[in-house]
């Protein structure tokens, strides 16, 4: 073998692995950020990364670009493993022309996505880019468009994860937005369509980058981010945790099963978390922890629309998606944000064969002009659509309130829940006792010598008769009224019998959900 | 813990920042104001003039575009706040109706 050629390869590779050069890499580190290759190494199993496309060059000849080298065209792409399971990954290299996106850069990304789709493995994209490479003109735009097309094609086939570790602005934001999970890191991630300067020029509004599109804004206010971390390393640990829970393609399911284990002792007695008075709040996450294996729950969208709780855990070793109303925040109402959060989560689970477990304590929808005018009707409809459309096993536990439209929406029997359980504390009724008594007994209350006392009496009568689980159970809408202590046992039995559930979808191109 | 009043009763719960920061509903006023800042290129109505829905009120140069600002309803112009060449800020009143 010609040794010189091997030495020449080593030298070439060494140069290319420096990305934009030692100085540019140091600048990145000085800004408190890891470099593209450091990120990949920290995310993947040690020594598992195989880089593809290191020698790719840009094809632009305008504006003196033909004389400019752009190492690996500013993006590191390749394959590797996480906990031994294969993944595809790309990381934009900010040290090379600010990670700007040209056509070759984009084609490297779409190529790695093609591999991910063909091989049925997750695709993780680390975004750190100043945006389109303006010298490449509309070819840069073509690049973005091709990435969006691939994101859409891969949706529901393989998990797509976006990690925002730097700026991600303008058109670039829409690739993450099309993917399943967006991870952000405090002080590092910046996402917006139009930046502070444009906003100031056009509207005269002054706002900093962090307040406009920082990590916290997207994790708490906009809901664009699903996971928030305080450091890049914490973020990578979150990604590894998520990938340990979710199936790695839409054709996989049971091989991801782990040995079952009991919830932790401190959560085992779930009754102690539930107050006697149905108007008093409690943290629904304690119930979830009391039911799931090892009391291990990975919350998605933890900071956004906290009146609903969604996330992944295992039940009897199998991954499940949990959806719960959170009485501790806004009494657990459905509003626009929580509807969006719940609906997107259901659709993710259904695409990837993850059974759904719904814990319900639902006082109703949030009243308000702002909610009505911002479209709670069409946003709320997403929850109905997602639950009705889902064909994975659907298990529902009605803990306390299940009133009116909220009762229907939260995976009721009528939307083809497979098993509906209720605790004896459940109140399943067409509306809350106060409102119902006011309408049904309007005449008696009005004509009574003491209307206030009469109203109280009628509310109590209504409560006794209807605010319980037994009316719904009498119609068969609830399958069993259970001791809360037995919740885990019932859910495991239901999940076991639902293993082979198969519903043939109706023939259609696709539905038309209220996006 | 605070109290949230819903149709089904009052609940002890936490309120979110988003909930606390929501703007109370205000009845729309009969004033057409600038949705974006810009420069007035033309004023097309006078005080006392009867206009119909869709009639042009003024031309506002903004976002590299001469935007025609139209009446959203029939009415009589009560006051014109703008003159040609004037720069207007976001939400600046332009034309008021009776």
Domain assignment of residue B3, yes or no: no
Domains of chain A: 3-245 (3.90.226.10), 257-431+467-497 (3.90.226.10), 433-466 (no CATH)
How many structural domains compose chain B?
1
Tell me, yes or no, whether B62 lies in a domain: yes
CB contact under 8 A, A281 and B12: yes
pLDDT of residue A216: 97
Per-residue pLDDT at A99 exceeds 90: yes
- How confident is the model over A52-85, as pLDDT tens digits? 999 999 888 888 888 888 899 999 999 999 999 9
**Domain assignment of residue B4, yes or no:** no
Which residues of B, range 13-32, sit inside 8 Å of A by Cβ?
13-19, 22-23, 25
Confidence of residue B31 (pLDDT cuts 50, 70, 90): very high
Helix, strand or coil, per DSSP, at residue A53:
coil
Shortest alpha-carbon distance between residue A332 and chain B (Å): 9
Q: Per the CB < 8 Å rule, is A431 touching B7?
A: yes
Whether B42 is covered by a domain: the verdict is yes
CB A232 within 8 A of CB A188: yes
pLDDT at A203 over 90: no
Residue B32 has pLDDT above 90, yes or no: yes
Instruction: Report yes or no: A58 and A66 within 8 Å, Cβ to Cβ.
Output: no
Which residues on A lie below 8 Å from B18 (Cβ)? 221, 337
- Do A186 and A232 meet the contact criterion of CB atoms below 8 Å apart? no
Which pLDDT band holds residue A258 (cuts at 50, 70, 90)?
confident
> Taking a C-beta distance cutoff of 8 angstroms, is the pair A24, A93 a contact?
no
A399 closest CA partner among A417, A418, A425, A419: A425
pLDDT in tens, B3-29: 999 888 889 999 999 999 998 888 888
B51 domain residue, yes or no: yes
Q: Cβ distance A347 to A416 under 8 Å?
A: no
DSSP structural state of residue A367: P
Of B6, B9, B12, the CB nearest to A367: B6
Query: From the centroid of its chain, how far is CA B8?
Result: 35
The distance in angstroms from the start CA to the end CA of chain B is 46
Contact B16 A403 (CB under 8 A): no
Rounded distance, CA A163 to CA A184, Å? 6
Q: How far apart are CA A421 and CA A383, in angstroms?
A: 20
Closest A-chain CA to B91:
A203
pLDDT of residue A255: 54
State the pLDDT at residue A254.
Answer: 53
pLDDT at A272 over 70: yes
**Paired tokens of A179:** 């993917």
CA–CA min distance B61, chain A (Å): 11
> Taking all residues of chain B, what is their mean pLDDT, rounded to a whole number?
92
| pLDDT over 90, % of chain B | 69
Long-range Cβ contact pairs of B58-66 (< 8 A, separation 24 or more)? B58/B82, B58/B94, B58/B95, B60/B34, B60/B36, B60/B88, B60/B94, B62/A202, B62/B34, B62/B36, B62/B37, B62/B38, B63/A202, B63/B36, B63/B38, B66/B41
SS3 percent helix, strand, coil of chain A, rounded to 5, is 45, 20, 35
Cβ contact, residue pair A281, B7, below 8 Å: no
Distance CA A464, CA A460 (A): 6
pLDDT at A266 over 70: yes
Q: Which domain holds residue B41?
A: 24-97
Query: How is residue A480 written in tokens?
Result: 């069993």
Q: CA A325, CA A339: separation in Å to the nearest integer? A: 11
B55 within a domain of the structure (yes/no): yes
For residues B77-94, average pLDDT: 94
- Per CB-CB distance under 8 Å, the chain B contacts of A202 are 36-37, 62-63
In this predicted structure, the answer to whether residue A260 has a pLDDT above a threshold of 90 is no
B53 occurs within a structural domain:
yes
How high is the pLDDT of residue A279? 86
| CA atoms of A415 and A431, how far apart (whole Å) | 19
**Which residues touch A133 (CB under 8 Å, ≥6 apart)?**
A58, A60, A74, A97, A100, A101, A102, A105, A140
A370 close contact with B: CB closer than 8 A: yes
Which of B 48-87 lie inside 8 A of A, CB atoms? Answer: 62-63
pLDDT at residue A138 in the model = 95
A367 in contact with chain B, both atoms CB, cutoff 8 A: yes
The CATH number of residue B78's host domain is: 2.40.50.100
Contacts of B63 in chain A (CB under 8 A): 202
Residue B6: its chain A contacts at CB < 8 A? 331, 333, 363-364, 366-367, 432
DSSP per-residue string spanning A108-127: HHHHHHHHHHHHT--EEEEE
Q: Which chain A residues are Cβ-neighbours of B33 within 8 angstroms?
A: none
Which residues in chain B have their CB less than 8 angstroms from residue A333's CB? Answer: 4, 6
Quick check: A181 and A159 in contact, CB under 8 A?
yes
| A505, pLDDT greater than 90 | no
Model confidence at A86, in pLDDT bands (50, 70, 90)?
very high
**Separation in Å, CA of B48 to nearest CA in chain A:** 31
Q: Are strands A227-229 and A318-325 parallel, antiparallel or unpaired?
A: unpaired
Residue B5 placed within a domain: no
What residues does A167 pair with on adjacent strands? Answer: A190
The reply to whether residue B9 touches residue A329, judged by beta carbons under 8 angstroms, is no
Share of chain A above pLDDT 90, in %: 89
Tell me the per-residue pLDDT of A462-476, one tens digit each, with 9 for 90 and over. Answer: 999 999 999 999 999
Quick one: pLDDT at residue B64?
83
Structure confidence by residue, pLDDT tens digits, A418-460:
999 999 999 999 988 888 888 999 999 999 999 999 999 999 9
Q: Label residue A99 left, alpha or beta by phi (over 0 means left) and psi (-120 to 50 means alpha).
A: left
Mean pLDDT, residues A272-283: 92
Of A257, A220, A215, A255, whose CA–CA distance to A235 is shortest? A215
pLDDT of residue A20: 93
Asked if A144 and A172 count as a contact pair (C-beta separation under 8 A), the reply is yes
Q: Is the dihedral of CA A13, A17, A18, A20 positive or negative?
A: positive
Using the Cα atoms of residue A144, residue A150, residue A156 and residue A158 in order, give the sign of their dihedral: negative
Share of chain A above pLDDT 70, in %: 99
Which strand (E) or helix (H) includes residue A472?
helix A470-474
**Does residue A184 sit at the B interface (CB-CB below 8 Å)?**
no
Which two three-digit tokens encode residue B37?
A: 């800042």
């Amino acid at each position: 073998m010609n040794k010189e050629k091997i030495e020449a390869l080593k030298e070439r590779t060494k140069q290319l692995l420096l990305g934009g050069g030692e100085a540019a890499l140091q600048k990145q580190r000085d800004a408190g950020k890891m470099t593209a290759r450091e990120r990949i190494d920290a995310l993947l199993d040690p020594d598992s990364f195989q880089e593809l496309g290191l020698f790719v060059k840009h094809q632009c000849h305008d504006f003196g670009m033909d004389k400019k080298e752009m190492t690996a065209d500013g993006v590191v792409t390749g394959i590797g493993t996480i906990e031994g399971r294969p993944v595809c990954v790309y990381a934009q290299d900010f040290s090379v022309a600010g990670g700007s996106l040209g056509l070759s850069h984009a084609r490297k990304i779409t190529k790695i996505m093609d591999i991910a789709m063909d091989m049925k493995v997750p695709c993780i994209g680390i975004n750190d880019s100043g945006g389109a490479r303006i010298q490449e003109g509309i070819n840069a735009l073509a690049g973005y468009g091709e990435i969006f097309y691939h994101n859409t094609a891969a949706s529901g086939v393989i998990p797509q994860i976006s990690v925002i570790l730097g700026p991600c602005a303008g058109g670039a934001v829409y690739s993450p937005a099309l993917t399943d999970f967006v991870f952000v890191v405090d002080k590092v991630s910046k996402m917006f369509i139009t930046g502070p300067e444009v906003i100031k020029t056009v509207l005269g509004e002054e706002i900093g980058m962090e307040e406009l599109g920082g990590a916290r804004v997207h994790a708490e206010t906009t809901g664009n981010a699903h996971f928030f971390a305080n450091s890049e390393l914490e973020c990578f640990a979150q990604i590894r945790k998520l990938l340990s829970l979710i199936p790695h393609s839409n054709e996989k399911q049971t091989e991801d099963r782990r040995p079952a284990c009991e919830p932790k002792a401190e959560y085992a007695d779930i009754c102690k978390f539930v107050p006697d008075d149905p108007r008093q709040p409690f943290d629904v996450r304690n119930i979830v922890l009391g039911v799931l294996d090892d009391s291990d729950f990975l919350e998605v969208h933890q900071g956004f629309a906290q009146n609903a709780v969604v996330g992944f855990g295992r039940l009897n070793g199998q991954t499940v998606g949990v959806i719960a109303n959170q009485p501790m925040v806004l009494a657990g109402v459905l509003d626009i944000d929580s509807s969006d959060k719940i609906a997107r989560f259901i659709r993710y689970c259904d695409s990837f064969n993850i059974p759904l477990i719904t814990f319900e304590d639902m006082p109703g929808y949030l009243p308000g002009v702002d909610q009505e005018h911002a479209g709670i009707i069409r946003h709320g409809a997403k929850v109905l659509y997602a639950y009705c459309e889902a064909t994975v096993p659907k298990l529902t536990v009605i803990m306390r309130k299940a009133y009116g439209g909220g009762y229907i929406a939260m995976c009721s029997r009528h939307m083809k829940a497979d098993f509906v359980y209720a605790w004896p504390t459940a109140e399943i009724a067409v509306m809350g006792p106060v409102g119902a008594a006011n309408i049904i007994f309007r005449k008696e209350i009005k004509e009574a010598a003491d209307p206030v006392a009469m109203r109280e009496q009628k509310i109590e009568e209504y409560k006794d008769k209807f605010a319980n689980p037994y009316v719904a159970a009498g119609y068969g809408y609830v399958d069993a009224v259970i001791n809360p202590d037995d919740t885990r046992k019932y859910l495991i039995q239901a999940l076991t019998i639902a293993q082979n559930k198969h519903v043939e979808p109706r023939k259609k191109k696709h539905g038309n959900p209220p996006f | 813990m605070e109290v949230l009043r819903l149709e089904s009763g009052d609940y002890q719960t936490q309120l979110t920042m988003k909930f606390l920061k929501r703007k109370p509903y205000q009845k729309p006023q009969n004033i057409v104001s600038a949705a974006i800042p810009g420069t007035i290129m033309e004023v097309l109505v006078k005080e006392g003039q009867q206009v119909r829905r869709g009639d042009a009120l003024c031309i506002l140069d903004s976002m590299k575009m001469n935007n025609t600002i139209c009446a959203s309803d029939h009415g009589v112009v009560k006051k014109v706040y703008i003159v040609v060449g004037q720069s207007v800020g976001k939400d600046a009143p332009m034309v008021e109706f009776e």
